[in-house]
Chain A
Amino acid sequence: MNSLERTERTASGGFSIDFKALGPFLALVALFVLGTAINEAFLSGGNLANIFTRAAFIGIIAVGATFVITAGGIDLSVGSMAAFISGAMIVVMNTLVATLGAGIETVLIGVLLSIVLGVGAGAINGLVSTRGKIEAFIVTLGTMGIYRSLVTYMADGGTLSLDFEMRGVYRPVYYGDVLGIPVPVIVFFAVAVAGYVLLNMTPFGRKCFAIGSNEQVARYSAIHVDRVKTLTYVIQGLCVSIATIIYVPRLGSASSSTGVLWELEAIAAVIIGGTMLKGGYGRIWGTVVGAIMLTTIGNILNLTDAISNYLNGAVQGLIIIVAVFLQRGDWRRKKSK
């Protein structure tokens, strides 16, 4: 009987659950309305393409972060990892230009290297935290420092620039489009769809939810907890590598300031999207919307003089806190009491 009563109470809170799922979408719509009100140029095709293209980097990384966080982990190293992979790609491709020439092969080798490095770095994060039984926060804080200093070392404190000829060959990966849709946006969408399927429809995704909810229960349910957790970091690494592959042709350079604070933006996108930071619940589409929201805020601030663009971080920070507060739903329950 007791359970019946409690169930009813949760059921009557159904509206707030809907709100939780739709919240990020509603907020994004509100931002778009605001953007249009401020400047009509906001809705122009060029501006929208710009928003989605820029959102693609953080968005792709954040899709990976959704897995890590859903399974109860955290990865702080993604920004540094992106910088390190960028630097390594540039160094290797520049070297190969001498032998292979500035062609597609060189780009493909660069891409392959990126994937190997991303998967490898993810596996290191995963294995050290699970096998070594060290908190993921600590492990990835450590690797964050390591990758960051490696790229600084490779660039000798300055900037690594991609060979000029190579830039021309590699350029379409960022600047190209298919049927008018920029390549990064297509990649972003593809990664999101793949992430959605993996997280919500496969046994692997289900296991991520289970581990994030309660590792002990997962262990008693014959789940190889360490293996699944390590895989989430590998997926994260793969996502970082994909993001880096489309990032390198954008500027054609890498330095110690590449990808700074990306980890925080990625985590913010995940959390705004409704994934629980303590694990056990993740939502890929929420993450996608979260990433687009973060980019949109910056874009709107660029279009208006009302708030200085330098306050971009402050506005983003405010939105993150408000988003989490709204999703928690406590405010609703208190009102009803």
Chain B
Amino acid sequence: MTDAAVYAVNPDQQARTRLSGRQICKSFGSAQVLFDVSIDLKAGEVHALLGENGAGKSTLVKILSGYHQPTSGALILDDAPVAFEGSEVGENHGVILIHQELNLAEQLTVEENIFLGREIKRGWFLDKATMRQEAAKLLDQLQCDVDPRTRIRDLSVSDRQMVEIAKALSKKADILILDEPTAVLTGREVDILFDQIRRLRDQGVAILYISHKLDEIKAIADRVTVLRDGRHITTEPVAGLEKDDMARLMVGRDIKQMFPDRTPGHAGDIALSVRNLSVDGQVRDASFDLRRGEVLGFAGIVGAGRTALMEAIIGLRERSSGQIERNGNRVVINSLQDAKTCGIAYLTKDRKGSGLLLNMDMRPNLTLLALEKFGRVIIDRKAEEAALEAAIEAFDIRAADRKSKVGDFSGGNQQKLLLAKVMETDPDIVIIDEPTRGIDIGTKSQIYHFIGDLTNRGKSVILLSSEMPEMLGLSDRIAVMAAGCITGILEGNDRNEHEIMRHATGISGKQGVSVHE
């Protein structure tokens, strides 16, 4: 609310609309993703763009910043129609987009990245000293203690995000668009980012902030525009909206339909038991039990060690200590092959980088993990085709042409194929890391129901997700991690957002102590 007060101090800036999109439509081929969307960005205002994955947020901001051209509709900058033919034109007009995916040259240093393409020169030569000073100043504003001479490849993801933000700040943006900038940031970094956003806003910069995190929108935004399935739903002041209102506007239907009915108390014997597992520098003394037929959620902020713990369980990461039991028997898992033998399967969150072979069609992708099932000497193509047929049916994979490359599929179909690939090994325990990242809402719901089906068939699921509704809607119990430790395993009425956040931030729960009784 204090923000609103600051904002009211600059009434002259309030009315000035800097950049507008008018009746913007966008189609990719025959698929229309935006329908008559209009939006106004005003100087000295933080405007939030809210919507589920696949609602068209990223497409809209790419049009506003010149990365995409609208199929129809117009852009108006300071009351005059403009066409941004390419992002450079947009940037020349002061419109800067910070992408959801980071765009940094990994082999170059922080300072080289910040001034990439706009190097400060003295005569014919680079003025490295000045660039280093400027870079240090920018990073200092962001309270980011990264040395400007560090190479990007040596930075953590959240530091990279901060560099990306520093780079945008250095471009003297008049209109700054941030596409889900906090996805990889820690809580403290989010606070710093918000301070910077407020500072820029007070300087009269028009800011468009994209997120599907309602807390953030409440905290930072003055007005919010909601998109759903490519359509403009509403634009309202944030002050008059509760989080529940925003969720309803965003989803457009009761969120409970999204999830399968979970009959509580049907969980059976202990299928997997992890004791005192540690990974150097990433996981400390983690213990938990997984029962047959249950979904055990793992919540925590990015960097809490969830993925590291799971990769250590399946043998992709070295354990420094710890034991694993399957159905009460001690097992040794030192490779993914061992995990497979133990009936444990892992769905990576990075389906493009480590999940699927994007340059190949579905068949080799589907059978890759369970290849020995299709012949040890010669691969049985007929069996592969039959398996593909069955998988397409079971997981509702929609591809017009089976020979087309998986890289051309939508995220939803890729995710379904990845799920099918992992299920080819017929695992008893499925570890799913971010099952619905970048997937449209309909497919999301389908995937939730697949997960429900798995547990109904007596299989156990470990769910890692940064999306709270998904975590709450699917999990029977929720283990929360903070700084490499399991700080609590929440059951029953404790399974709520508030308790999760308390444990994830280390307010509640025991640090570094196994909470398993």
Given contacts A207-B371, A220-B346, contact A7 B354 (CB under 8 A): no
Is the contact region of chain A dominated by helix, strand, or loop, or is it mixed? helix
A209 lies within 8 A of chain B by Cβ: yes
B1 lies within 8 A of chain A by Cβ: no
The residues of A that contact B405 with a CB separation of less than 8 Å are 10
The residues of B that contact A218 with a CB separation of less than 8 Å are 368
The residues of A that contact B30 with a CB separation of less than 8 Å are 1, 4-5
Determine the distance from Cα of A283 to Cα of B46 in the docked complex, in whole angstroms.
55
Q: Mark B392-407, 1 if CB is under 8 A from A, else 0.
A: 0000001111011100
Determine the distance from Cα of A49 to Cα of B346 in the docked complex, in whole angstroms.
55
Is B371 a contact of A206 with CB atoms below 8 Å?
yes
Pick from B156-164, B178-186, B356-364 the stretch touching chain A: B356-364
Determine the distance from Cα of A65 to Cα of B355 in the docked complex, in whole angstroms.
27
Indicate the size class of the contact surface on chain A: 20 to 34
Our count of residue pairs bridging A and B at CB distance below 8 angstroms stands at 113
Determine the distance from Cα of A222 to Cα of B353 in the docked complex, in whole angstroms.
15
Is A219 a contact of B354 with CB atoms below 8 Å?
yes
A337 lies within 8 A of chain B by Cβ: no
Is A209 a contact of B348 with CB atoms below 8 Å?
no
A309 lies within 8 A of chain B by Cβ: no
Q: Mark A57-95, 1 if CB is under 8 A from B, else 0.
A: 000000000000000000000000000000000000000
Pick from B284-292, B319-327, B408-416, B478-486 the stretch touching chain A: B408-416
Is the contact region of chain B dominated by helix, strand, or loop, or is it mixed? loop
A251 lies within 8 A of chain B by Cβ: no
- Chain A, 169-206, CB within 8 A of any chain B CB: 197, 201-203, 206
Is B378 a contact of A214 with CB atoms below 8 Å?
no
Distance in Å: Cβ of B517 to nearest Cβ of chain A: 34
B13 lies within 8 A of chain A by Cβ: no
Determine the distance from Cα of A137 to Cα of B377 in the docked complex, in whole angstroms.
31
The residues of B that contact A210 with a CB separation of less than 8 Å are 357, 364, 368
B169 lies within 8 A of chain A by Cβ: no
Q: Mark A210-228, 1 if CB is under 8 A from B, else 0.
A: 1001101111111110000
Determine the distance from Cα of A210 to Cα of B371 in the docked complex, in whole angstroms.
12
Is A2 a contact of B316 with CB atoms below 8 Å?
no
Given contacts A219-B354, A220-B316, contact A203 B31 (CB under 8 A): no
The residues of A that contact B253 with a CB separation of less than 8 Å are none
Is A2 a contact of B357 with CB atoms below 8 Å?
no
Determine the distance from Cα of A3 to Cα of B398 in the docked complex, in whole angstroms.
8
Given contacts A206-B364, A220-B316, contact A3 B346 (CB under 8 A): no
Determine the distance from Cα of A11 to Cα of B404 in the docked complex, in whole angstroms.
7
Residue of A nearest to B350 (CB): A216
B375 lies within 8 A of chain A by Cβ: yes
Distance in Å: Cβ of A238 to nearest Cβ of chain B: 19
A8 lies within 8 A of chain B by Cβ: yes
Q: Mark B295-338, 1 if CB is under 8 A from A, else 0.
A: 00000000000000000000010000000000000000001110
Is B29 a contact of A5 with CB atoms below 8 Å?
yes
Indicate the size class of the contact surface on chain B: 35 or more
Q: Mark B18-54, 1 if CB is under 8 A from A, else 0.
A: 0000000000111101000000000000000000000
Distance in Å: Cβ of B17 to nearest Cβ of chain A: 32
The residues of A that contact B256 with a CB separation of less than 8 Å are none
Is A220 a contact of B372 with CB atoms below 8 Å?
no
Determine the distance from Cα of A9 to Cα of B409 in the docked complex, in whole angstroms.
12
Determine the distance from Cα of A220 to Cα of B425 in the docked complex, in whole angstroms.
13
The residues of A that contact B371 with a CB separation of less than 8 Å are 203, 206-207
Residue of A nearest to B421 (CB): A221
Is B360 a contact of A213 with CB atoms below 8 Å?
yes
The residues of B that contact A219 with a CB separation of less than 8 Å are 316, 336, 354
Distance in Å: Cβ of A194 to nearest Cβ of chain B: 13
Is A202 a contact of B357 with CB atoms below 8 Å?
no
Is A9 a contact of B378 with CB atoms below 8 Å?
no
Is A217 a contact of B408 with CB atoms below 8 Å?
no
Partner among A201, A220, A223 whose Cβ is within 8 Å of the Cβ of B378: A201
Distance in Å: Cβ of A11 to nearest Cβ of chain B: 5
Determine the distance from Cα of A9 to Cα of B379 in the docked complex, in whole angstroms.
30
Partner among B335, B353, B374, B398 whose Cβ is within 8 Å of the Cβ of A4: B398
Given contacts A7-B404, A202-B379, 12 further A-B contacts (CB under 8 A): A2-B31, A2-B410, A3-B400, A4-B31, A5-B29, A6-B29, A11-B404, A203-B372, A206-B368, A210-B364, A214-B357, A222-B337
A-B contacts, 29 of them at CB < 8 A, read A1-B30, A1-B410, A2-B29, A3-B398, A3-B408, A4-B398, A6-B29, A6-B404, A7-B401, A8-B400, A11-B404, A206-B364, A206-B368, A206-B379, A210-B357, A210-B364, A214-B358, A216-B353, A217-B354, A217-B355, A219-B316, A219-B354, A220-B348, A220-B355, A221-B368, A221-B421, A222-B339, A222-B340, A280-B359
Residues of A within 8 A of B (CB): 1-11, 197, 201-203, 206-207, 209-210, 213-214, 216-224, 280-281
The 7 closest A-B pairs by CB, nearest first: A5-B29, A222-B336, A1-B31, A7-B400, A3-B410, A216-B354, A7-B404
